[in-house]
Amino acid sequence: MKQFLITPAAGKRLIARALADHPSIKQVLKSGTLVIIAGTTNGYVAEEILTSLGQQEGFSREKFFRGIVLPPVGLTTKSGQLKDETGFLGDVVIVNGAWQKGLTIFDVIDNLKKGDVILKGANALQLPEKKAAIYIGHPQSGTIGAALPAVVGRRIRLILPVGLEKRIDTNVDELALRINSPGTDGPCLLPVIGEVFTEIDAIYTLTGAQSELVAAGGVAGAEGSIWLAVSGQPQQVAHAEKLIKSIYHEPQFTL
């Protein structure tokens, strides 16, 4: 067993590399539609997938979000719900392996069919049960509100890339009941059923090694970091070590 420190930015890169190798995503890139909904973690995912397709030109993670959380001086900010002067150019929609630039999930949701895949980030992770929830600040529940009818009604696969930094120790369903009650300030919270995909899943997908969260935190750029203990066959642990060290120097996310 070996232990490794992974920063939030490195974790996003790790998740992205693994999702580019995810069987369902590799299949839908051959035939079908992949929708990568804008978000900071999904920005890394889109970057990795578009690069694997040789179609990264014109994509930038800098504005690939609708809402983000910032330090308390400016708790949240939005780039806008539509393509506008702020630089938001849409979600990443890939049809039969070709990036359809400028589209959003709202443009394609009615045409999605079984076998298609939606990637949507999350804000809260109930780790032991692998349940995730999404902050909602839009009166029609935003992009997840658009996605769920297709996920439930047409069996579209929903994958939820989410870093372990977002773990909570409360049942997300009970938490949502309290947060969403009338008279409560701040965003609402929507628990969502989908395939939760964390750094732990990323390591297993790419190396076959098992890992577990054993500690967290740090300073001077290590804030929000996680410590993972990785175990398995010697070659699996060695592969995981090489993989993790390759993303050690991922720079902090900046606007």
Residue 28 in any domain: the answer is: yes
Give the range of the structural domain holding residue 143, as residue numbers without chain letter. Answer: 2-246
Q: Is residue 104 part of a domain?
A: yes
Is residue 251 situated within a structural domain? no
Give the Å distances, CA to CA, from 247 to 128, 162, 224, 241, 244: 26, 17, 16, 10, 5
Q: How far apart are the first and last CA of the chain?
A: 37
- What's the CATH code of the domain at 177? 3.40.50
255 assigned to some structural domain: no
Residue 116 resides in a domain = yes
Residue 14 resides in a domain: yes
C-alpha distances (whole Å) from 155 to each of 121, 150, 212 are 19, 7, 31
Q: Assess if residue 26 is contained within a domain.
A: yes
In the chain, the number of structural domains is: 1
**CA pair distance 191, 131, nearest whole angstrom:** 7
Its pTM stands at 0.92
pLDDT along the chain (255 residues), means of 10: 96 98 97 97 97 95 82 55 58 98 96 97 96 92 94 97 96 96 92 97 98 95 94 98 95 81
Residue 172 domain-assigned (yes or no)? yes
- Judge residue 145's burial from the number of C-beta atoms within 10 Å of its C-beta, 0-12 exposed, 13-18 middle, 19 or more buried: middle
